[in-house]
Chains A and B, each alone.
Chain A
Amino acid sequence: MEYDIDFSNVTFTYEDAPIPALADINLKIKPGESVLITGPSGSGKTTLISCLIGLVPHFHDGRLEGKVRILDRDIRRMRIGVMASAVGLVFQDPESQLVTASVIDEVSFGPENLGISRQEIEQRAAEAISVARLDGYENREPINLSGGEQQATAIAAIFSMQPEIYALDEPTSNLDPMGTKQVLSLIVEVAKKRGKTLVVVEHKLEEVLPLVERVVVMNEGRILRDGPVHDVLAQGDIPGVFTRPPIVQMAEQLGVGGTPLTADDIQPLVETNLQPISGPLPPLSHSGKDYGEPVIEVSDLWFAYGEDAPALRGVDLTVRRGEFLAILGRNGSGKTTLVRHLIGLAQPQRGSVTVMDKPVSETPVMELAQQVGFCFQNPNHQMVSFYVKEELAFGMRARNYPDEQIAKAAQEALDFVGMGDYMDAEVLSLGKGLTQRLALASVLTLQPEILIVDEPATGQDPRMTVEIFELIKQLNEQGKTVLLITHKFGVAAEYAPRAVVMNNGKVTYDGPFGNIVSDTKFLHGNSLDQPEVTRLAGKLAPYGIPPWVVTVDQMMDAINGSLRARS
Chain B
Amino acid sequence: MTIEYQKGDSTLHKLDPRTKLLMAFSFTFIALAIQDPILAGIVFFALRGIGISAVGGEVVNKNLRQVVPVFLMFGLFNVIFRPDPDGHFLFYLIPFFDFGPVMMESVLGGIGLFFRFITIVLAVHLLLYTTPSADMVLGMTKQGKRSVSITTGVTLLLGILLFVGFNLTLPTPIANLPFIIPVRQAVVALVALVVGAALYHLGSRGVPPEIAMGLSIGFATLGLLTQQTQQITDAQQARGYDTRPKNIVARLKVIVALVLPIFFATIQRAQDVAVAIQARAFDYNIKARTYRRALIFQRPDYVFMAIMVGLLLGGLILNFYQLNNATERVIKSIFGL
Contact = CB atoms under 8 A, between A and B. Distances in A.
Contact of B234 (A98, A141, A345, A394): A345
A504 interface: no
B241 A386 contact: no
B323 to A, nearest CB: 47
Contact of A161 (B272, B281, B283, B290): B281
Interface string B125-163: 000000011100000000000000000000000000000
B217 interface: yes
A381 B289 CA distance: 36
A59 B240 contact: no
A96 B236 contact: no
A143 B134 contact: no
Nearest to A121: B292
A91 B223 CA distance: 21
A442 interface: yes
Contact of B290 (A82, A117, A394): A117
A370 interface: yes
Contacts, number: 168
A167 to B, nearest CB: 10
B280 A109 contact: yes
Contacts of B282: 81, 113
Contacts of A17: none
B56 to A, nearest CB: 15
Given A81-B281, A122-B292, A161-B281, A99 B276 contact: yes
B42 interface: no
Nearest to B239: A395
B233 to A, nearest CB: 9
A442 B290 contact: no
A442 B227 contact: no
B273 interface: yes
A394 B240 CA distance: 9
Contact of B223 (A80, A117, A141): A141
A97 interface: yes
Nearest to A80: B278
B321 interface: no
B284 A113 contact: yes
Contacts of B294: 118
Interface stretch (A100-108, A231-239, A406-414, A536-544): A100-108
A101 B278 contact: no
Contacts of B278: 53, 55, 59, 80-81, 84
B240 A369 contact: yes
A345 B238 contact: yes
Contacts of B216: 100-101
B241 A97 contact: no
Interface in A33-81: 53, 55, 59, 79-81
Interface string A103-140: 01100111111111110011001000000000000000
A82 B238 CA distance: 46
A209 interface: no
B275 interface: yes
Contacts of A53: 278-279
B242 A113 contact: no
Q: Is the interface of A mostly helix, strand, loop or mixed?
A: helix
A374 interface: yes
Given A84-B284, A114-B284, A143-B223, A394 B269 contact: no
A112 B290 contact: yes
Contacts of A365: 237-238, 240
A97 B276 contact: yes
Interface in A135-152: 141, 143
Contacts of A438: none
Contacts of A112: 289-292
Contact of B134 (A59, A101, A158, A383): A101
B306 interface: no
A104 B132 CA distance: 14
B239 A115 contact: no
Contacts of A1: none
Contacts of A84: 278-281, 284
Given A100-B216, A115-B290, A55 B240 contact: no
Nearest to B234: A345
Nearest to A340: B234
Contacts of A446: 239-240
Contact of B280 (A101, A157, A384): A157
Contacts of B219: 101
Contact of A398 (B227, B241, B269, B291): B241
B281 A384 contact: no
Contacts of B236: 384, 394, 398
18 contacts: A59-B275, A81-B282, A84-B284, A96-B269, A98-B276, A99-B220, A109-B280, A112-B289, A113-B284, A115-B284, A157-B280, A374-B238, A376-B238, A381-B228, A381-B231, A384-B239, A384-B241, A443-B239
What are the 3 A-B residue pairs with the smallest beta carbon separation, nearest first?
A: A81-B283, A369-B240, A96-B272
Interface of B: 132-134, 216-217, 219-220, 223-224, 227-228, 231-232, 234-242, 257, 260-261, 264, 268-269, 272-286, 288-292, 294
Interface of A: 53, 55, 59, 79-82, 84-85, 89, 91, 93, 96-102, 104-105, 108-118, 121-122, 125, 141, 143, 157-158, 161, 343-345, 364-367, 369-370, 374, 376, 381-384, 386, 394-395, 398-399, 428, 442-443, 446
Given A55-B275, A99-B217, A366-B237, 14 more contacts: A55-B279, A80-B283, A81-B285, A84-B280, A84-B281, A93-B272, A97-B275, A97-B276, A100-B216, A118-B290, A344-B237, A369-B237, A382-B238, A398-B242
